[in-house]
Chains A and B, each alone.
Chain A
């Protein structure tokens, strides 16, 4: 059975990934997990970008601009992860916890 992958398949996967990420961000308590879910949401968005660029055909070729852009995004995201994790480590050191429910000193 020949089945063809279309743009919709990619978008569907991307949407599911995004929803899982969002749910994690909203529901989980552990900051590390939330952070990972956040990355998941970012990956979902990246997937959309790649899919669109793949199916956007220019002169018989996929649009590679999008593919290249993706690598930049991943690079920046890696840097951002480093900073984010460092913040979480610092938070853990000062508070002894990574539970978001307990990080609320900015509350009035």
Chain B
């Protein structure tokens, strides 16, 4: 298995085989399905580690021909194995394996356990496809597959209407972004005549007209906006929290939503070629980071707070993708550290929810610190990493992004990021203070107990990673993505400048403000209807849908009622009825009359034959 090509194929196909096996064979033995999926995730982790051992070297792999449309378009299934995909693969499999492990406990008594684990395996397959793809079309196919598995898993508890709605919403919103992505791919193909990343990069130096290139890159960015839930397509992610919590951790925090960022990093050469698109990307990311952080301040559902913080962090990563190669590396580095601490926070929230008998409102928790000690400590570590407490992993990566922004002289996004750096500690400390400190506010909270080892072991592993993942001995495969920033104390103290100062100030002010405001409270002291209602963006979309959809529906209703109905339904029906009543006249009910007719008929026939 030293051959990178073989490893990559095994990595891609193993989860697919597992998913198929669960659906076909072990569906009824849910315990077996769970073990199968977890085992498969464990093996992929080993394979990804083997792949990562190759370091930065770019491996040429054979491309398996798939669609051959003559000389103009040949689509293949092939891998691009370099530092970027190796690192990303490692993130996906580590978090994936730990989430599988956690799910063994969290989903222990679930009715659809087999279905759930099949969905997880399908997701691992799709995600691997995106990460390893060496061309746009293959990436797009797996991109859609990821969307499908996300849909399946959000709607896992499909008998809950809100879960079904959330799944639909996620799917439809992503559709909008994906359409843009598809148009972008086609535009790039038209411009460069290729769908392979390497060939596109090579062809880009030449003759490309700038206007279409801008359009192409922006369209591709649409895909990232949908998948990574950037403003204005961010509305699906908070609702996606209707899915089981481990799914939120794996798909809607650590890996799938990061696929957009990964894709932007993969096509970084395109973004560099289009300055306009780079600016748009930076600003969209910054605005998302700010709006999401503001919305997070006013939420009371523990998972929703984390969801908005995910949005905000994704905004950071996307912002970084528009800041040149250095920024792109910093963004990927943040993706890497964020994957661990956000998965940790989500799994931690899952443990809290599980311990509190599926209570998700932080105002109904309180005092969990003493009852769920391991969960509390790991959750606190995750929080520290998220708010970029010095020397945790999140600290290094966020500093890297801020540095990159400053370096590129993107002052607007930089100051927005600073504001977010104040808001993040504020809402996270709020969550921590309200849920874990003080006294229990409900029976569920006062009866909470620590969760089983199969659930807290992943938490411990992830909290170690959340603390240390930025340092070189762990971040090996990600090293080249953000050179010189991995726990490099000398670098930090040697350049103690604006970035470090403002982020420290933001951190301290945010924490102090949150503690001062929320300590000892039993209900929300701040009334922020605008933030609580998420800037009314959902309502706005609903209005648009209502206006656009209703007028379309009215038009179609008219056509159906006054055009289709008379012509294709009523007219034939009337004809058949008329013919029927005509023929009815012959049915007199007298056998002899029939015999008479029959005889006359025979006579006529005879006459016809003879004369």
Contacts and interface: CB of A to CB of B under 8 A. Distances in A.
A26 interface: yes
B589 A26 contact: no
Interface string B588-607: 11111001100100000000
Nearest to A104: B589
A107 interface: yes
Top 8 A-B pairs ranked by shortest CB distance?
A107-B589, A104-B589, A108-B587, A100-B591, A108-B584, A26-B596, A26-B592, A25-B595
A103 interface: yes
Given A22-B599, A26-B599, A108 B589 contact: yes
Given A22-B599, A26-B596, A103 B591 contact: yes
Interface of A: 22, 25-27, 34, 100-101, 103-108
Given A101-B590, A108-B587, 18 more contacts: A22-B599, A25-B592, A25-B595, A26-B595, A26-B596, A26-B599, A27-B592, A100-B591, A100-B592, A104-B589, A104-B590, A105-B589, A106-B589, A107-B587, A107-B588, A107-B590, A108-B584, A108-B589
A101 B590 CA distance: 6
Interface of B: 584, 587-592, 595-596, 599
A105 B592 CA distance: 14
A23 B46 CA distance: 99
Contacts of A34: 592
A39 to B, nearest CB: 15
17 contacts: A22-B599, A25-B595, A26-B592, A26-B596, A26-B599, A34-B592, A100-B591, A100-B592, A104-B589, A104-B590, A105-B589, A106-B589, A107-B587, A107-B588, A107-B590, A108-B584, A108-B587
Contacts of B590: 100-101, 104, 107
Contacts of A100: 590-592
Nearest to A22: B599
Contacts of A27: 592
Contacts of A22: 599
A36 to B, nearest CB: 15
Contacts of B589: 104-108
Contacts of B599: 22, 26
Contacts of B592: 25-27, 34, 100
A108 B421 CA distance: 86
